[in-house]
């Protein structure tokens, strides 16, 4: 089944203890779509500027991602510069230039409107709700958000929460959203705000999915997926979006929502996140082969399963 | 097989967001032995003061723990007072009175010297090495330590590391010991210091065991065990020691060290830690039934396993 992602396609400058790069392809929708493309047909709605060239287009074409929904406007693409220190879970933002992204008002092309799986990457929650309303055929909708929206646009975030089936956020965002320092308690509070499933990403400790009672008819027991203990995290940028891409991509490819599908999706999310951080930007995802994903999935199983 | 633990038997005063208690039974060897007693025959070597009464003895007797190695000295037992805030992973120490523990110099009784499984709870590393040398028949030795020894008694800690088969510490201790902010890298450095297995406890995120290449003939792939997402952590005191008790107790009961035994031991460690925090002090462990352990083990599997 096709999967549509709406979010940022951008350029990043990143500095980590392992080096630095200038103006490489980035953005949540980019990482998401590359990761998801190993599982299913992916479509993107985004806006870019005149600096988005054939070179960048080729990255998507190589992974058979449909970018006919990427609109090109006069001006520059969204640009983010940040650096990571010893703590790979937190980036320090050095520069943000919204460019054409400031006026982003996503319109879903007609030929995308039959898409049954939808991911609302981290953008203004008003736009997320607007996109959802343009997609009446969507069967399963995932969404992301961040502290900026939770702190300053809470009512809009609340509306978004009622419009997604699964919310994918990290520990800090979950505690902020629920105003509760206990993660398990925060999870239960967030499930009451709308989403049937809540995926909390714990960085190097993996991720947990919590369910509403009776969600998707599969029961409410949570499920935890690991990450790989990685000694060299070259560039953490995009790990969370790559997780979301693996998670949503695997679900879209199955076409049904069983408990087992959710569990495997959590594992594939972790697998894709673990690849993303091995090189700067999207380099590792660009070079990745499907066999490598299967191999790492086995390592994730070995890391957690008692036979 | 029998399991011997050498460490503190103490009194604690604890304050958490869920209440407070004064002078209840505590100490690393207490939590450890109660948790391990559900799996195997446990023996303790410790020192207590005149305040250690028949009431406290009964707690051990009820779990068939051999306390003939607990020496009673004139003076008071070790006393610790602490409080926990929103972060259940870190205690603030309010008071420490070493009492008779200050002169603790553990002598292993002759009738304990055939014990094949040994746990050196967190005490002066000089004493840990001394105990190890009194136990030539020990087949598998686990050990714990803490920041105080790592920071101020490094050479003694290094000697201890060469005398244990498995080291069980938490994230902060591992990073401090290896002087490396990356946990996976810290793990590899610590394995080079001596222990064949390193168990790093991640608090609410579970625990990971790392192995030296060829350790116990079972290969070097790490293994991760979860903890339960617990909404109300009544009292985190003793969670790590209860983990160690479940881990070592299960291993001692098997009498062999396979990869599968290690994996299950990690799960039983997590299970015992998850019970310990449900009530103040050792209350939950005292009331626990073996069937509850089996039930929770199943929940841990469900939380992590794809069938």
**Which residues of chain B are within 8 Å of residue A226 when distances are taken between CB atoms?**
224
Q: How many Å apart are CA A147 and CA A166, to the nearest integer?
A: 18
- What whole-number distance in Å separates Cα of residue B200 and Cα of residue B218? 19
What is the least distance, in Å, from the CA of A230 to any CA of chain B? 6
Q: Rounded to an integer, what distance in angstroms lies between the CA atom of residue A61 and that of residue B71?
A: 74
| Contact call for residues B97 and B78 (beta carbons, < 8 A) | yes
Condensed to tens digits (0 to 9), the pLDDT of residues A63-106 reads: 999 999 999 999 999 999 999 987 777 889 999 999 999 999 99
Residues from A contacting B (CB-CB < 8 Å) are 86-88, 181-185, 187-188, 202, 204-206, 208, 210, 221-224, 226, 229-233, 260, 263-264, 267, 299, 301-307
Supply A115's token pair: 């898409």
Which of B16, B226, B265 to substitute to test the interface with A, most A CBs within 10 Å?
B226
CA angle A222, A227, A231 (to 5 degrees): 155
Compute chain B's Rg from CA coordinates. Answer: 18
pLDDT in tens, chain B (307 residues): 899 999 999 999 999 999 999 999 999 999 999 999 999 999 999 999 999 999 999 999 999 999 999 999 999 999 999 999 877 778 899 999 999 999 999 999 999 999 999 999 999 999 999 999 999 999 999 999 999 999 999 999 999 999 999 999 999 999 999 999 999 999 999 999 999 999 999 999 999 999 999 899 887 899 999 999 999 999 999 999 999 999 999 999 998 999 999 999 999 999 999 999 999 999 999 999 999 999 999 999 999 999 8
Contact A260 B307 (CB under 8 A): yes
In angstroms, the separation between the Cα of residue B15 and the nearest Cα of chain A is: 17
CB contact under 8 A, A223 and B304: yes
The β-bridge relationship of strands A223-225 and A207-211 is antiparallel
Write a three-state SS string for chain A: CCEEEECCCEEEEEEECCEEEEEEEECHHHHHHHHHCCCCCEEEEEEECCCCCHHHHHHHHHCCCEEEEEEECCCCCEEEEEEECCCCCCEEEEEEECHHHHHCCCCCCHHHCCCCEEEECCCCHHHHHHHHHCCCCCCEEEECCCHHHHHHCHHHHHHHHCCCCEEEEEHHHHHHHHCCCCHHHHHHHHHCCCCCEEEEECHHHCEEEEECCCHHHCCCCCEEECCCCCCCCCCCCCHHHHHHHHHHHHHHHHCCCCHHHHHHHHHHHHHHHHHHCCCCCCHHHHHCCHHHHHHHHHHHHHHHCCC
Q: Choose the closest CB to A229 out of B183, B229, B306.
A: B183
Q: In this prediction, does ipTM exceed 0.95?
A: no
Predicted confidence (pLDDT) per residue in A199-213, tens digit: 999 999 999 999 999
B161: its two tokens: 């590391």
B19-75 pLDDT, tens digit each: 999 999 999 999 999 999 999 999 999 999 999 999 999 999 999 999 999 999 999
* Chosen from A172, A304, A307 to mutate, greatest number of chain B CBs within 10 A: A304
Q: Residues in chain B, how many?
A: 307
Cross-chain CB nearest to B231 (options A182, A221, A233)? A182
Classify strands B78-84 and B10-16 as parallel, antiparallel or unpaired: parallel
Give SS3 for B15: strand
**What is the pLDDT, as a whole number, of residue B87?**
76
Residue of B nearest to A204 (CA): B183
What confidence tier does A255 reach under pLDDT thresholds 50, 70, 90? confident
């Amino acid at each position: 089944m096709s999967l549509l992602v709406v979010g940022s396609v951008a350029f990043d400058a990143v500095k980590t203890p392992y080096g630095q790069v200038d103006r490489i392809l980035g953005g949540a929708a980019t990482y998401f779509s590359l990761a998801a493309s190993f599982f299913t047909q992916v479509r993107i709605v985004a806006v870019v500027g005149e600096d988005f060239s054939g070179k960048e287009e080729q990255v998507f074409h190589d992974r058979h991602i449909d970018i006919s929904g990427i609109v090109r406007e006069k001006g520059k693409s969204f640009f983010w510069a940040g650096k990571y220190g010893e703590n790979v879970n937190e980036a320090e933002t050095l520069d943000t230039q919204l460019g054409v992204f400031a006026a982003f008002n996503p319109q879903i092309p007609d030929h995308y409107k039959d898409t049954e799986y939808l991911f609302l990457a981290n953008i203004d929650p008003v736009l997320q709700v607007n996109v959802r309303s343009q997609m009446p055929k969507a069967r399963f909708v995932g969404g992301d958000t961040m502290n900026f929206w939770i702190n300053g646009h809470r009512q809009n975030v609340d509306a978004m929460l009622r419009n997604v089936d699964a919310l994918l956020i990290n520990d800090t965002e979950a505690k902020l959203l629920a105003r509760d320092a206990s993660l398990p308690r925060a999870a239960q509070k967030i499930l009451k705000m709308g989403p049937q499933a809540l995926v909390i990403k714990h960085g190097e400790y993996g991720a947990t999915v919590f369910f509403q009672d009776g969600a998707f008819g599969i029961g409410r027991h949570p499920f935890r997926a690991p990450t790989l203990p990685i000694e060299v995290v070259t560039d953490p940028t995009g790990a969370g979006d790559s997780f979301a891409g693996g998670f949503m991509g695997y679900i879209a490819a199955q076409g049904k929502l069983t408990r087992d599908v959710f569990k495997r999706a959590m594992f594939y999310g972790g697998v894709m996140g673990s690849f993303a951080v091995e090189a700067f930007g999207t380099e590792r995802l660009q070079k990745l082969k499907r066999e490598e994903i299967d191999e790492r999935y086995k390592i994730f199983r070995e890391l957690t399963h008692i036979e």
